[in-house]
Structures are given as C-alpha cells and as structure tokens.
Chain A
Amino acid sequence: MATVGHSEVSDALHHDDAAELMSNSVVKKEDDDFSVAESSIVNGDYEKDATKDDGTFGQVLPEQPTMKIIERKISGYVGFANLPKQWHRKSIRRGFSLNLLCVGKKGLGKTTLINTLFNQELQDPASAKVDDQLANLKLEDPEKAGEAQETPVKPKVQINTISTTIEENGVQLALNVIDAAGFGDAIDNTDAWEPIVREIDSRFDQYLDAENRIDRTSIQDNRIHACVYFIEPSGHCLSDLDLTFCKSVHEKCNLIPVIAKSDILTDEEIEQFKIVIRSQLQEAGVNLFEPPHYSIDDDETVKSSKSLSSKIPFAVVGSTKEVATPDGRQVRGRQYPWGIIEVDNAAHSDFVYLRDLLIRHYLEELRERTSNVLYEHYRSEKLSSLGIKQDNAVFKEFDPTMRQKEEKQLHEAKLAKLESEMKAVFQQKVSEKEKKLQKSEAELFARHKEMKDKLTKQLKALEDKKRQIEMSMANQANNSPIQPKKKGFLR
C-alpha cells in the first residue's frame, strides 16, 4: 500500500491534482482497516489487537462523554403522553401475528387445545390424523408399506404449519400453528427433538438473512414466538425426553409447559405433579417464559400476574364442544357421568390462565422477548461463530465537541500524512535534480581540466621547442654570422 501510494504520489506531484490523489489513497487505507480484519496482522499490530479481542466479550461500551440530561415533569398538557395511544391505533391498523409451536406426543389433545384456545376449528382432528397416516404411507419405503401402520422405530417428526387469520372487534391476528407431528411417538426417540430445534433455528436464520439484506421493506417474522409443550398426565415426573426437549429449546423460544388432559388427575395429584415438574425443570436449568411486571401496574394486576406465574405448568383441558350444565348454562366442556368439567372455569382447570398468558395478556410480550432476547442471543452467537468481530467503538453517545475534536484529529492526521508524503517526494525529486546538476558540473570541470592540461602540456612542449630552436639559432648566430661579416669586411 505504502509503496503504491508513493509511486502514485511521485507520478502525480507534477500534476495539479497531486494532493487529490494522495487524499484518495488515504481514504482507501481507512476502508481497508475497516473491512479486512486481517489487515492488522499485515500492519504488525497483531499482538495488540489479539489481546484486545481476548479482553472483550459481547458488548462492552466505551467510555462515554458526560452528558447533561434535563429532567422535568410536565404538569400541563403537552401531548406526547399520547404516544401509547398512537401505538394502540397503529397496531390495530398493522395487525398482529403469532407463530405458535406445539410439541407433544400423539393423543395428548394438542389440536383440541389449540382449537379451544382460538375457538376455531383450525384443523379437523379426525381428517388430520388420516392425512398424517396417508403421508406416512407415502413416505414409507414401498417394501415396508404394509408395516406403516405400526409405530416406527426411529422418530419421524414432521413439521406442519396451519395458518389462519382471526378477527375480533376489528383486531386481526395472523396465526400460524406449527405442529411437530410424530414427536415422541417412536420406540427410539433419540434425537426426536432435533428436527424441531432445526426448525426453530432455520426460522431465526431466515429472519437474520432478511435483516441483513439491503432491501428490508418486506421483512417477515416467521420466528417461533412461543412453544407449548404438552406433558403427559402421568402424575409422576417428567420423562428424559421431556427434559431433553425443554433443555434444547428453552433458550431459543418461549417455553410454556402444560399438563395435557389434566382431567384424569385429581387436584392433589396435579399440585404434587406440578411441584415435581417445577423442581425438575429448575434443576435442569430450564428457563420458562415469565410474565413481566410493569411499573405502572396496580396492585391487583401485579397479584394476578403473580398468580399466573404460580400456575405454571398449566394443567389444562380442551374442548370445543358445548354441553349443558345442570343449572342450564351452555358451556364448553367435557361431560362425565360424575359431572361436567368446564373449560372456561378457572376452578376446573388452568385453561383460562394459559389463554391469559398466551393471548389475552402477554402475546405481545412473547413476541418482544422472542425478538429482543432470544433472537438477539441466537444472532450474537451465530455472527460470532461466523467470525464477525464486535466493534464496540461504534457504541458512543454523540457529542458535538468530541465529534469536532475527532474530526479535527482525523483531518490533521490526514494533512500530516499528506504533507510528509509530499515532502518526501519533493525532497527526493530535489535531491535527484541536485545530484544530476552537481554531476554535470563536476563533469564540466573535469573535462575542462583535462583539456586544459592537455593544451598546457602542448603549450609547454611548443615553448620548449621554440626555446630550443631559438637557442640553437642563437648559437649559429654566434659562429657564422660573424664569419661572413668578417669575410665581408675582409673582402
């Protein structure tokens, strides 16, 4: 990078936009730092970064600027207290949705309970079973088709979804009931929970993908908002399969355990059974959905939500059939020779409590917890496992003076870099040119000296020669010229 930058710069120095190019290379450098985690290794800061990574797990907020927050209670009518009301109106317009997962062995009355809860024939129990069997038949190996009616050895859990929209007083609920047919029905139920866990995960993955997409206008929430788990009314304790299932899903969805067909247990038996189940779940570290408390709740609401929590696991009875009570009322219930069990009677079963939790009072809380806690947990782990590094520096309260300072620092660093780069190139160019000129200067002097020496030598040689000639001529003159003169005179 550095070398590329230099060549760019040295080429560019003679152009007017030299600095423009330099600044581009600076900006590019920042991009690299941001997107490529490995760049730190290249830069030689690996040691430092590695220790930093080890130290940070999850979200650790950097030091925040001190902020002044004015606190006021307003006595007059300003109007922002209308925001919950605006949400109320908006939520009706937008509608509600619930994705409900039902898990439990065959014959525990799952379909009946759901139908009772939503007061609708979401699925005709009889036809569904036939469909199931037909599906099993088709899926079965042709050779074994004859044995299909028997209980399969290995679990064959099938995920089926029934969707419907329920409207009540202008409020719409888009309901998706996800049924895990075949769970616990096999002889060997090892891994029976796996298809269910996979289903929950894949719905999270789907949402994560949608959330990461560039266009998120049509994001759909298919995440499981609640899982009703049907416990066999054995009156003893939870089976290993029950516990294993609860342990493998409790961090992925709001788990609501119910004791199915609880009308075969007496009140005392139910109480005893509940205590055992609760302690078993607690021992296994299983977290259940707990209705939250609101600070604005009055005492009565707090009390009722507490009593709701205390009823978990709900001992329920489902029935969509209406029967006449001896005192002449038409109720949903089951008629026995010894009496009528009324579904909607809190004294007879916990059905009303389950409905309060699942629909009437806490449906939106189930969705909130799914989105804010369970999904977030899944997402954090998933992204971390994909090698995405947490950058805690982005979690910072905006501070204009700090911001200005930071920008100034960035700007000054950029300027300093620009300056040093330009200076380096400049100095290099200058010294190159200086050397070149000095060289030609030296060459000039050297050539001149050489020539001059040569000429001086030549000159000296000639002078010597001249002197010699003159000398010899002078000698000649000393002898001969006198003679002729003499001769002449003598003649």
Chain B
Amino acid sequence: MTSDKAPVGISNLPNQRYKIVSENGGVFTLMVCGESGVGKTTFVNTLFQTTLKHADSQQRRHLGIKRTVEIDVLRAQLEEKNFSLRVNVIDTPGFGDNVNNNKSWQTIVDFIDDQHDSYMRQEQQPYRDVKFDLRVHAVLYFIRPTGHGLKPLDIETMKRISTRANLIPVIAKSDTLTQKELHDFKIRIRQVIEAQEIRIFTPPLDDSDASDPAVKEHARQLIEAMPFAIIGSEKKFDNGQGQLVAARKYPWGIVEVENDAHCDFRKLRSLLLRTNLLDLILSTQESHFETYRRLRLDGSGSPEDPSLPARAPARKLSHNPRFKEEENALKKYFTDQVKAEEQRFRQWEQNIVNERTRLNGDLEEVQAKVKRLEEEVRALQARKR
C-alpha cells in the first residue's frame, strides 16, 4: 500500500461528533447536598456566574427549623459561546437541620433512585421519542469547615450516595480554616473516606491517551486536591491589580474565588464543567444507571419471554417517616380498640357468670322450698296414717 494516499477522511469523524454535540446541546443535573448555611446557593451562582437562585430569606430560615427534607429543582437553559446546556440543580433544603437527623439521607437517596427508575421505565416503552431525564450526574456534598472530621451523618449519607451517583465532597466556606488546618482537615477526611470505603468521583486516569501527558497531569492534580476546599461569592472586588474578581472581603484581606492559592474553586469547576463534564455524564449513564437497572431487573426474576423487555416491579412508596408514623398510629388505634373490646367482652362474660350464679341461687332457693314442702307433705302423710 502506498503511504501518501489521499486521506479517506476518517480523521474528520471526531469533528462530526463535535458538531452534533454542539448542535444538540447538553443536559447536566447537579445535586447540592449539605446542611443549610454552608453556602450551597452561593456556590451554584458562583459556578455559573449568574444568579440562578436567590438565597432563602432570613424569615424563612427562622421559620423552617422543624421540617422534613424536601427536594427543590431549579431548571435553567444556559448558553455559553453558542453552546446550550440545560442545567438542573437539585437542592435538598433542610438536610441535617433537625435535632434527630436519623435517616434524613433517605430523601436524597430516594430522589436519585427515583430518577433512575423513571428513566428506566420510559426507556422500556415501545414509543419513547421524548424522555424526561433528571438523573443526577454529580452530587456535591458540602462538609462543614469544623476542622475536626466528618460527622456520622456525613459518613452515612456519603456512603449511600456514592453507590448511586458521582459523589464529590467539598469543604464549604474553607476561608474559615488556615492553610495548616485545611491541610490536616483534608487528610483526615481522606482517611475516613478511605476507611469507610466511600467511592468518590475521580477523573479517569487510565483511559486517557498516553500521548497527552498534560491531561493526565491535570487529572492527577484534581485528584490530589480532593476534597476541594471552596469559597463562593457573587460579589466582585478589586484584586489590587485593578481587576474586578469574585471575592470575599475581610478587614485583613480579600479571598479570591478564582485564585488557586486561596481555594480549590477552579479545580472543582474544571472537574464539574471544563474538563470532566462528559465523564460525569457518561459514568452516570454507563455505570450508575446500569447498576441501578441491573439491581432492579435482577430482583424481578427472568422474564418469561426473553424478547420482551424486562420489567422491574413497581417502586415502593417513599420512605417518608411521617407516613410510617401514621401507619403505626392507625395500627395502634386498632390495637387499642381490640383491647377495649376484649375488656368489654371479658366484663360481659363475667356478667354472664354472675348472672348464672344468681340464677342458680334462685333455683336452689326454689328447690329448697320444694324439698321443704316434700318433707312437710311426707310428715303430714305419716301423721295422717
């Protein structure tokens, strides 16, 4: 074969893909998870450089102390350089805010499962041109900057998320920790994550082509920085060089959001959007969704006809603790009723027994009278003779 042949045009195939994706746009669903006040809303607005979400008013914050965890979905169609991305931000207001946070991860876990389930069911239909997809591509778990370690609630929640979605733990409001404190905190968190076998999302190192060591190096840097220490700010300040930058201003200095020396915001943004957005999307589809589907379909046993799509059993009702409580209350009500009735029946039976005794007494009395009379008669008869 001659070497200097006219090119076939295969090297243009990636450009075709590029064009198709550019034309179709993308969908990215991000879940932010953490106690209130760790800066979830501010982070989302900082990440997309636009106010997608307004922080809860102070009033609502005070009112909403005692409530169950809810789900809040924010939908946006963003356009950057003619590329259109549908962004869904899932918030879980009230997570971990109650005194007893037992099972408060349930809403989060249920939501992730529900979306997989919904997608699976849509996919099974004969006609499925339009599908609604809210499968979560990444979960940002905000850790409070205590400097100590992870709380049991953090560990339990992260464990459950990590088997269902791409988990990315972040240290919120990291400007409250000094460099040394942050360093130690990160090490401690990493140790716990490792010990508890929590799987966190890491950019793929193995499948990246060896010809691009820069990609590998970047991925390695991202992995090393985990869990990312972040700060968020929608306000802009002069960075001292005449540039207006997103930052937080303190009397002792300005913390710049996009300064690698100040925090890991840029690294996190790179992981979420600039370099690994596709990895997040693909691993959700190819790994987490497939795992969910496999588990659901496996449980239903093999279908009678292999040519028919396997169908999963209907999903259980949600684990809403209030529902369980109501159910228990109903059960208790009936148990009490049964007890009350049993008491009444016992009383009734006792009454019958008493009545019988009384009536027996009555009969005995009459019988005694009869006996007495018999004897009198017998005596009279004897005398008469």
Contact = CB atoms under 8 A, between A and B. Distances in A.
Interface of A: 13, 16, 18-19, 23, 27, 30-31, 33-35, 58-59, 61, 67-74, 76-93, 96, 117-121, 166-173, 208-209, 211-217, 294-296, 322, 332, 344, 355-356, 359-365, 368, 376, 379-380, 383-384, 386, 388, 390-392, 394-400, 403-404, 407, 410-411, 414-415, 418-419, 422-423, 426, 430, 433, 437, 440-441, 444-445, 448, 451-452, 455-456, 458-459, 462-463, 465-466, 469-470, 472-473, 476
| Overall SS of chain A's interface | helix
Given A80-B26, A448-B362, A360 B317 contact: no
5 contacts: A80-B277, A209-B307, A388-B308, A411-B320, A414-B317
A203 B29 CA distance: 34
A395 to B, nearest CB: 6
Nearest to B25: A83
Contacts of B279: 86
B366 A93 contact: no
Q: Which label, helix, strand, loop or mixed, suits the secondary structure of the B interface? A: helix
Given A74-B48, A86-B275, A214-B297, A388 B309 contact: yes
A84 B83 contact: yes
Interface in B309-342: 309-311, 313-314, 316-318, 320, 323, 326-328, 330-331, 334-335, 337-338, 341
B77 A69 contact: yes
Given A217-B286, A459-B373, 17 more contacts: A19-B331, A61-B130, A70-B74, A70-B75, A70-B76, A79-B269, A86-B277, A87-B21, A166-B10, A209-B306, A212-B307, A294-B23, A404-B70, A414-B327, A445-B359, A452-B362, A458-B370
Interface of B: 1-2, 5-23, 26, 28, 47-50, 52, 70-83, 85, 87, 114-115, 118, 121-122, 125-132, 134, 207-209, 211, 215, 269-270, 273-279, 282, 286, 290, 293-294, 297-298, 305-311, 313-314, 316-318, 320, 323, 326-328, 330-331, 334-335, 337-338, 341, 345, 348-349, 352, 355-356, 359, 362-363, 366-367, 369-370, 373-374, 376-377, 380-381, 383-384
A83 B377 contact: no
Given A59-B127, A217-B290, A383-B309, A78 B334 contact: no
B366 A456 contact: yes
A418 B330 contact: yes
A466 B376 contact: yes
A9 B145 CA distance: 53
A93 B208 CA distance: 7
A456 B365 CA distance: 11
Given A67-B75, A70-B75, A171-B13, A81 B8 contact: no
B320 to A, nearest CB: 7
B164 to A, nearest CB: 16
Contacts of A414: 317, 327
B299 to A, nearest CB: 10
B85 A83 contact: yes
A294 B367 contact: no
A2 B14 CA distance: 60
A344 B316 CA distance: 63
A254 to B, nearest CB: 15
A117 B8 CA distance: 7
A459 B76 contact: no
Nearest to A292: B23
Contact of A214 (B23, B298, B323, B349): B298
Given A19-B327, A355-B9, A444-B352, A71 B77 contact: yes
Given A82-B275, A168-B8, A368-B20, A444 B359 contact: yes
B240 to A, nearest CB: 20
A286 B273 CA distance: 44
Contacts of B2: 322
A74 B49 CA distance: 7
B320 A212 contact: no
Contacts of B80: 73-74, 77-81
A88 B356 contact: no
